[in-house]
Structure 1
Amino acid sequence: MLDVDREQVLAHRIAAQGLHRDRSDPGELSVFDLGLQSTQRDTAAISLAARLPGAITEESVVDDSRFVLAWTHRGAPHFHRAGEIARVTAALVPLGEEDAMARMGWQRKQVEAAGMGALEGLFTAARALRKVVTGVMTKGAASEAVTKIIPDGLSYWCRGCQATHILEQVMRLAAIHGGVRLEAGAQPATLAPLPGRGRMRTTPDPAAATAVVRDYLRLHGPATPKEAAGFVGTTATLVRQMWPEDLVEVRVAGRKAWLPGAEVAALENPPEPAVVRLLPPWDPFLQSRDRNVLVPDRARQKEVWRILGNPGALLADGEVAGVWRSKGSGRKRLDFTITAFDPLPPATRTAAEEEAERVAKTRGFLDLRVTWN
């Protein structure tokens, strides 16, 4: 059995996720095998800037017809390769009622109170979205229209908006099954039909679900069923039903974890992680569910993953070495505050400031200022 330490695991992930900038075409980046999360404006573009050698702008992914933005894993918005959206959709069909309810996450209690099963609620909402979203329309307009044709239990009165809305997580999970995507770069959130959307699939595809777990283990492994379940948005018990057969057991600092057999050689001898990158919140590297491996210190974990308002992370020589935030001054200057967890060598600080310049250009700012804490 292969026995590795956390430093070796992180070096492997840095290489597996393209942070050595060994690709020049976004379509070739392995992170799109799972999808590139875009929870906040510019985060996807900054993730690309961390992985591609050339100049990156927000339009690099927003205006690239090879990619589609949709609510997918856990109901979060992700960019996917357009040619793979059917496979992604199939993988997101729950394996059964228990899986569907688990994916409802923070709105499980509301779904349970709706008086119908989670599967029924999911596909009822999907059919309504398919019927309503026949062209480009704002999320608010779509929600208002959908609530008129779904059972009352799937909607709620929003005091802030003074309107009735479909349950947020139900809408997010149902949209892809209803053949609905997000308009990339649009504010407020805007929906549109997926090109050439076919009939809605309600039958699970175990092979597609297993492929998602395998991709997670390939990009974030070695990992456990519980960690893979955290990414998928279901339970470890259900992920074991999606568990790939071609895995190798690995010990990470004495803890059992698994990796696809084809990745073992890369884990055994990863390239030196001698890179400095500014990663945005929700960057794929930060999506690994074993936070104790990424950042062993609990106090530092709370700095990287906050309840509200996550900062970006400074990746330096194989470690999450600090956090960063930025604030625009009009459209001319972007001010960065970088907080290092420990003193950094001058060369690392210089490299981080060069990465800040890339981030500023990606966001369309002409000038920047970097302050170190």
Structure 2
Amino acid sequence: MPEVGREQVLAHRIAAQGLHRDRPDPAGLAVFDLGLQSTQRDTAAISLAARLPGPVTEESIVEDSRFVLAWTHRGAPHFHRADGIGRVAAALVPLGEDDAMARMQWQRKQVEAAGMGALDGLFTAAKALRKVVTGVMSKGAASEAITKIIPDGLSYWCRVCGATHVLEQLMRLAAIHGGVRLEAGAQPATLAPLDGRPRMRTTPDPAAAASVVRDYLHLHGPATAKEAAGFVGTTVSVVKRIWPDELTEVRVDGRKAFLPVRDVAALENPPEPDVVRLLPPWDPFLQSRDRSLLVPDRARQKEVWRILGNPGVLLADGEVAGVWRSKGSGRKRLDFTITAFDPLPPAVRKAAEDEAERVAKTRGFADLRVSWD
């Protein structure tokens, strides 16, 4: 049984997630096996800029027909390879009522109060989305139309809007099953039918669901069933029902975890993590659910993962070495504030400033200013 320490695990993940910039084509990046989260404008492009050797702009992914944006894992927007979106949809069919309810997350009680099961609610909303979204339309317009044809219990009164809306998490989870995607680059959120409008699947596909867990273990392993469940947005018992084959047990600083057998050699001999990168909020590297391994210090964890408004992260030589924020001055200059957790060598500071210039160009700013806090 392999035994490794956290530094070796982090070096392995940095390599597995393409942060050495050793692949010139985004379609070849393994992070797209799970999907690239795009919660805020430009975050996906900045994640690409941290991984690709060439120049990157927002259009690099928005206008690339090989990718499609959709609400998928945990109802969050992710870019996926377009030719694999059917497999993603199959993997997201809940394995049962317990799985469906777990995925409702903060809106479980509202779904329970609706007087119907989570599975019925999910596919009722999916059918409504399929009926309503026949072309490009705003999220607000779609929500209004869906609310009119679903049971009252699946909607709520929004005091801010002064209107009744379909439950937010329900809509997000149902969209992929209703054959609905997001318009990449559109603000505010805009919906459209998936190309080819694949038929709605309601029968679980355990093999497809297991592939999500396997991909998580490849990119974020060695990891546990609890951590994989956190990424999927379900319970540990559900994940154990689809626990993949061909895994090996690994000890990480004495803690039991698992890794695909095919990744053992890469874990045992990872390349040196001698890279400096500015990662955006919700970057794949930060999606690992073992936050205490990524950032052992609890106070620093609270700086990286905040209740609201996560900063970006400075990754330096295999460690989360600080956080960063930026603010645009018109469309001419992007001002960065980088806060290092510990004193950094001049070479690392210079590399971080070079990365800031790369982020500024990715976001379309011609000039930048970097301040160290």
Q: Give distance in 2, aligned partners of 1:80 and 1:172.
A: 16
Mapped to 2, the partners of 1:146 and 1:244 lie a distance apart of 37
Between the aligned partners of 1:121 and 1:156, the Cα distance in structure 2 is 14
Alignment partner, residue 75 of structure 1? 75
Instruction: Quote the offset at 1:219 in angstroms.
Output: 0.3
Q: Distance in 1 between matches of 2:38 and 2:26?
A: 15
SS in 1 for 2:78: strand
Residue of structure 2 equivalent to 1:138: 138
Partner of 1:347: 347
Q: RMSD value over aligned CA atoms? A: 0.3
Deviations 1:288-324 (A, max 9, x none): 0000100000000000000000000000000000000
Question: Aligned equivalents of 2:342 and 2:179: distance in 1?
Answer: 48
Output the CA distance in 2 between the equivalents of 1:368 and 1:199: 48
Note if contact 2:11-2:271 (Cα within 8 Å) is conserved in structure 1: yes
Q: TM-score, normalised by structure 2?
A: 1.00
| Pairing 1:299-318 to 2, within 5 Å after superposition | 299-318=299-318
How far apart are the structure 1 equivalents of 2:50 and 2:307?
Answer: 24
How far did residue 134 of structure 1 move?
0.1
User: In the TM superposition, what is the alpha-carbon distance from 1:199 to its structure 2 partner?
Assistant: 1.6
Q: Distance in 2 between matches of 1:210 and 1:193?
A: 27
Q: Which residue of 1 aligns with 2:125?
A: 125
Whole-Å Cα distance in 1 between the matches of residues 214 and 193 of structure 2?
Answer: 29
2:14 counterpart of 1:17: no
Give the match for residue 43 of structure 2. Answer: 43
- Structure 1 CA distance, aligned partners of 2:284 and 2:243? 21
Aligned residues: 373
Tell me the distance in 2 between the aligned counterparts of 1:134 and 1:87: 22
Tell me the distance in 2 between the aligned counterparts of 1:196 and 1:54: 32
Match of 1:95 in 2: 95
Structure 1 residues 95-123: Cα deviation after superposition (integer angstroms, max 9, x where no partner):
00000000000110100001000000000
Residue 57 of structure 2 corresponds to 57
In 2, Cα distance between the equivalents of 1:346 and 1:26? 31
* Structure 2 unmatched ranges of 5 or more: none
Residues 115-140 of structure 1 show CA distances to partners (whole Å, capped at 9, x for unaligned) of 00000000000000000000000000
TM-score (norm 1): 1.00
1:252-267 correspondence runs (5 A): 252-267=252-267
Residue 334 of structure 2 aligns to a residue whose secondary structure is: strand
1:245-324 aligned within 5 A: 245-324=245-324
Give me the identity figure in percent: 85
3-state SS of paired residue (2:296): coil
State the secondary structure of the residue aligned to 1:52.
coil
SS at match of 1:338: strand
Structure 1 residue runs of 4+, over 6 Å off?
Answer: none
Deviation track 1:154-198 (CA, whole Å, cap 9, x = no partner) reads 000100000110000000000000000000000010000001012
- Distance in 2, Cα, partners of 1:55 & 1:211: 32
Q: Which moved more, 1:64-73 or 1:195-204?
A: 195-204
- Superposition pairs for residues 155-170 of structure 1, below 5 Å? 155-170=155-170
Alpha-carbon separation, structure 2, partners of 1:254 and 1:144 = 53
Instruction: State the alpha-carbon separation in 2 of the partners of residues 350 and 340 from structure 1.
Output: 13
Aligned to 1:32: 32
